[in-house]
Structure 1
Amino acid sequence: MSTPANPTTEQVRSASERIGWGKILAAALGILCIPLLWYAPLPLEPRTKHALAIAGFMVIFWIAEVIPHAITGLIGCWLFWALGVVPPRVAFGGFSSEAPWFLVGALFIGLMVTETGLAKRLAFAILSSVGTQYSRILLGFILTDFLMTFMIPAGPPRVILLGSIVLGVVASFGLDTKSNVARGMILAIAFSATLFDKTIIGSTPSILARSLIVEFGHVPVYWSKWFIAYFPLDVINILAAWWLILRLYPPEKDHLPGGRAYLRQQQEALGPWTAPEKRAAVLIVLAVVIWATDFVHHISPAVVGLGIGLAANLPGIGVLAPEQAKKINYSIFLFMGTNISMAEVLRETKALDVMSGALFGFLAPYIDNVLHSTVILYWSAFVAHLVLASETSMISVTMPLVMQFALENRLDPFAMGMVWSFATGGKLFIYQSLVLIAAYSFGCFNARDVFRIGLFFLIAESILLLLVVPLYWPLLGIG
């Protein structure tokens, strides 16, 4: 007679299979990190050790994605408070900074544009104007990606929206998702999105980077200056992406069969402009105008972003119904708030000084001019991004250290922060970006495609920075 299986054992086995052994080991390491650092015989103040212990737990859980990022962040902040490391005003101090609220506004703006159909109308308007030749359609998608960054700041939803339009165009070519046409266009919008998310303040990583530069670098960061500083890189990378995709993935067909008829059909299906679309367009234009002129009025981009996002929810003025507003993913708000809170705790407990000295102390002798500092920062950030795959986690953990290093060595925190932030746009592997993961879901490319295109942009952008940082940025008062 067989012995019945132990239900508890079966439950543990099924849970292990569901979670994965890698995450289980990471969870054990993260939890073990707390007592190991807490009681480690290090020549540090107790508060400093305790802050490092909890921060280590948070970083390990974020890297391995053991549980949702927001939950990890909340647990860590609660531990800072519950274990007496810092008072609650510091443990949750990140929520009093601008970045989480800027993000909420950006999420509302993105939802407003997609729910009204304004984003799709803009996409087809641009595609209709570029013609039916494949090379022009490809350029049209890249330009659309750039312009839509102002309206849908988050890269993944932007890529998903454009990707669905790409598949419709590919079908009109009479091709499938494995064709060069499909592969080229999806890769173009994906890699362009990873760049634009860094050069225009609105995505989660750029909002967070700006906030940390202001908070820890003690310098003002204007939306307009950020955009103008990166604009030459945007233009060159648009052209570079267009050229590279055409060379690597020559199209099976040069022209879209019945192309104008297809595009006209899609535009007609959208119908005339609706009142919500018009109101959404007015709100978007208003936001961009105020952002672009912040060097005159000095109104925080976060104030503008949240204000426009809230206006989108007001009856008569806005366009979002209560049911639509429920689609907002507020967990990213919690994640960003706890990210900044962790950095605040590390600064309050002097742990930031210890980490900065350990990680960047050896770099000081080599950063003796603009060219050296640009090269070292760019490639150091790239290496850090290989380990801290999440852009948000990478910036939240390392940017305060970069700012500390800049202040201690009398370097421009704004310039160093911008180089460090821009370097997170370099990707060689799909896991490094939610944008690439979203694009990969369409089944049009593989890891080899990502590696070779990513390598091209990684090298090209480092060379471009060597020209822009010493020659162009000083004209803007950066550096």
Structure 2
Amino acid sequence: MKKLESVNYKGFIWPVIIGLILWFMTPIKPAAVPVAGWHMFALFVATIIACITRPLPIGGVSIIAFALTVLTKTVPMEKAIVGFGNASIWMIAMAFFIARGFIKTGLGRRIALNFVKAFGKRTLGLAYSLIGVDLILAPATPSNTARAGGVLYPIIESLSQSFGSDPKKGTERKIGSFLIFAEYHGDMITAAMFMTAMAANPLVQTLAKSNGVNITWVGWFLAALVPGIISLIIVPWLIYKMYPPEIKETPNAKQWAEDELSKMGAMTLPEKLMAVIFVVALVLWIVGSFIGIDATLAAFIALGLLLLCGVLSWQDVLHETGAWNTLTWFSVLVMMAGQLTALGFIPWLSKTVGNSLHGMNWILVLVILIIAYFYSHYLFASSTAHVTAMYSAFLAVAISAHVPPMLAALMLGFFGNLMASTTHYASGPAPVLFGSGYVPQSKWWSLNFVLGIFYLVVWIGIGSLWMKVIGMW
């Protein structure tokens, strides 16, 4: 090694300054907050800011945050290390490995091509077909980045090129821009529909449980079903109207898909095994709460079967860096967020905000909290980091304001995904799809702003009424 790795030292400036200011404000902290709780708050805020300024990748930031948390004696090592044993986080890691099976075997690509073959005569139909693939994969792929980036983006790229749509040639608007942006939102919606469709959703379940709300896989799905289907139907059409492709008819797509499927040949044994194990995992996630198998165990079983059958090798598992990266930084942030509660900061904040909203109608309180939660995402480069930082506090405030607990827990859970309708760095799929060059930043932000309003209206309005109809509050 002759050259040091690149470090963005300027990215440390704001986290350090703000962290130190908060730390040394301890003498004038609110009396109800313990010293350790305030110190934990200072460290947590500095860490979240560092996740935004990115002096190091988020994994590196989390390791430094972990070391400082223990070094300052804010949290003892035996409590800090507990975060790495969180079952929900391990389920996420397992799911990365399962997603690798879809990509490695080619099953994900085969599913996508069959949808294109069946529904791809028009550009709008093509978008619906691709989103349909996302919908099928979503329940068993808690990495929405893996779905959008690993499975569907290569298909969209190939389709776009086959129609002469290439940002390098200035022809991105032919078809590619529309398909990229439609898939981004389709992936976002499917992530909101299933508890196992995005990394932060199981965390929502864990945080909700700590607030006395027990969310099941089936309960989440049923609550999201109607607003989710409405969104899946209307959003691609809205994008089609606001950001129309130049090519509206795609008669060649069917032939292209047939040619690609012909090249793939018949389903291979690995694909068949992957399909069977996928169904096993899905069934276990659906019925697990009734037979005593939680989501994490179901994911372990699925991975074990993939290894046992030879679909994946242990080297595949070791090389799935996204899983190990997520396991590292997520564990640290979850530990820190948990300690904010354990050390008294979150209870104080919830009580304070709850008192400020005292006397307000609970519906108004819920709307205010969700809007604040949604638009604060402009400050975050990760949906998971945002959920970790704010979900528990906002849920506690909602419950203290007499919002029905299940309604509050699920609404905040849904918008932990839908708030990605903001920036080009809002979630894992965003940098992948935006980075393809098909959609300029100005369009990405402006279209997301309009669609964000749509999500707020549909999911709060229709979603709340639907949950009332099915007796969830």
**TM-score (norm: length of structure 1):** 0.88
Counterparts in 2 of 1:354 and 1:448: CA distance versus 1, 3 Å: same
- Mapped pair 1:244 → 2:238: yes
Q: In the alignment, what sits opposite 1:221?
A: 215
CA RMSD after TM alignment: 2.5
- How far the C-alpha of 1:152 sits from its partner, in A, is 3.2
Q: Which one of the candidate residues 70, 91, 95 is aligned to 1:106?
A: 95
CA distance in 2, matches of 1:74, 1:24: 14
3-state SS of 2:175 partner:
helix
5+ unaligned residues in a row in structure 2: which ranges? none
1:380 is displaced (CA, Å) by 1.3
Letter in structure 1 aligned against 2:349: M
Contact 1:430 1:450 in 2 (8 A): yes
Counterparts of 1:305-344 in structure 2, within 5 Å, are 305-314=299-308, 317-329=309-321, 330-344=324-338
Partner of 1:142: 131
2:17 maps to: 29
- Give the counterpart of 1:197 among 191, 195, 198: 191
Check 1:123–1:469 CA distance in 2 against 1; reply closer, same or farther (3 A cut).
closer
Residue 31 of structure 1 deviates from its aligned partner by 5.1
Cα pair distance change 1:435/1:27, threshold 3 Å: same
CA distance in 2, matches of 1:307, 1:278: 17
Query: Where do residues 78-89 of structure 1 align in structure 2 (5 Å cutoff)?
Result: 78-89=67-78
Q: Which moved more, 1:434-443 or 1:450-459?
A: 450-459
- Per-residue displacement from partner, 1:164-185 (whole Å, max 9, x unpaired)? 2112222222333412411100
State the distance in 1 between where 2:256 and 2:120 align.
12
Distance 1:255 1:235 in 2: 25
Where does residue 414 of structure 2 map in the other structure? 422
Aligned 8 A contact 2:201 2:413 in 1: yes
For residue 206 of structure 1, what is the aligned residue in structure 2?
201
Residue 117 (str. 1) matches residue 117 (str. 2) = no
Structure 1: distance between partners of 2:345 and 2:379: 21
Could you tell me which of 134, 138, 142 is aligned with 1:153?
142
Displacement, 1:38?
A: 4.8
Would the aligned equivalents of 2:8 and 2:54 in 1 still touch at CA under 8 Å?
no
Q: How big is the shift at 1:469?
A: 4.1
Question: How far is the alpha carbon of 1:222 from its aligned partner?
Answer: 0.8
Label 1:193 to 1:476 Cα distance change in 2 as closer, same or farther (>3 A). Answer: same
Q: Is the 8 A contact 2:115 2:133 kept in 1?
A: yes
Question: Contact between 2:116 and 2:253, CA under 8 Å: does it hold in 1?
Answer: no
Which of 259, 262, 281 is the matching residue for 2:275? 281
**Aligned equivalent of 1:444, options 438, 446, 453:** 438
CA deviation vs aligned residue, 1:416-473 (integer Å, no higher than 9, x gap): 1222232231322212223121101111011222223212221111111243344211
User: Which residue number corresponds to residue 175 of structure 1?
Assistant: 165
Counterpart of 2:374 in structure 1 is 382
Q: Deviations over 1:328-371 (max 9, x none)?
A: 220111112112111221122112222324455423432x233x
Could you tell me which runs of 5 or more consecutive residues in structure 1 were left unpaired when the two chains were aligned: 1-10
Aligned to 2:362: 369
User: Is residue 362–residue 403 contact of structure 2 (8 Å, CA) maintained in 1?
Assistant: no
Alignment CA distance shift 1:47-1:24 (3 Å): closer
**More moved, 432-441 vs 241-250:** 241-250
Q: Kindly provide the amino acid, as one letter, of the partner of residue 16 in structure 2.
A: A
Corresponding residue SS for 1:84: coil
| Higher alpha-carbon deviation: 112-121 or 134-143 | 134-143
Deviation at 1:25, TM superposition (A): 2.0
Assess, with a 3 A threshold, how the Cα gap between structure 1 residues 258 and 50 changes in structure 2: closer, same or farther: closer
Larger Rg: 1
The alignment-based identity, stated in percent, is 19
Write the distance in 1 (CA, Å) between the matches of 2:81 and 2:26: 21
TM-score scaled by structure 2?
Answer: 0.89
Query: Would the alpha carbon gap of residues 458 and 360 (structure 1) be closer, same or farther in structure 2, given more than 3 Å must change?
Result: farther
Q: Describe the superposition over 1:232-287 as per-residue Cα deviations: whole angstroms up to 9, x where unpaired.
A: 12211111122113212333333335443321110011121111111111111111
Aligned-partner SS, 2:75: coil
Instruction: Give 1:7's aligned residue.
Output: none
User: Could you tell me whether the CA contact under 8 Å between 1:38 and 1:53 is conserved in 2?
Assistant: no
Counterpart CA distance in 1 for 2:226 and 2:56 is: 40
Distance 1:20 1:416 in 2: 40
Q: Which residue in the other structure is 1:3 paired with?
A: none
Count of matched residue pairs = 460
Deviation at 1:127, TM superposition (A): 1.0
Q: Work out whether residues 174 and 247 of structure 2, in 8 Å CA contact, stay in contact via their aligned partners in 1.
A: no
Residue by residue over 1:31-72, the C-alpha shift from the partner in whole angstroms, topping out at 9 and shown as x without a partner, is 524642455565343222332232233222223222222233
1:368-411 CA-to-partner distances (Å, cap 9, x unmatched) read 233x2342122011132222342111111111212332443444
| Structure 1 partner of 2:339 | 345
Asked if structure 2 preserves the Cα contact closer than 8 Å seen for 1:313 and 1:321, the reply is: yes
SS state at 1:326 partner: helix
Question: Could you tell me how far apart the structure 1 residues matched to 2:387 and 2:158 are?
Answer: 36
Which deviations, in whole Å up to 9, do the C-alpha atoms of 1:155-214 show, x marking residues without a partner?
Answer: 223222312211222222233341241110010001211222222122112122222112
Q: Is the 8 A contact 2:354 2:401 kept in 1?
A: no
Q: Is the 8 A contact 1:70 1:338 kept in 2?
A: no
The question of whether the paired residues in 2 share the 8 Å contact of 1:94 and 1:341 is answered with yes
SS in 1 for 2:94: helix
